[in-house]
Amino acid sequence: RMSRHAQQLRDQDINPCLAETDASRKCMDDNNYDKDMCTAYFLKYRNCRRFWHNIMIQRRRDGVKPEMPTAEERKKMLESME
């Protein structure tokens, strides 16, 4: 059984960077934990976290709840930027 924290990290509404997390982990598994092989994945993850963290801070400032947009909301936000 997963801990509550681990379950939250697997929840798309809480963790906006689930795909990037999984891709990084898979890259590490596939490359015998050679971090140099996975730099691009780490960069994507870091950019994802930074982007959504800034959104969360802005929503907190504006009094918007929930502070982290749901997975559905995030999808719409990203589509509107394309």
Angle between helices 39-62 and 18-30 (to 10 degrees): 160
Mean pLDDT of the chain: 93
**In contact, 5 and 11? CB cutoff 8 Å:** no
Overall pTM surpassing 0.85 (yes/no): no
pLDDT of residue 42: 97
Burial degree of 16 (CB within 10 A; 0-12, 13-18, 19+) = buried
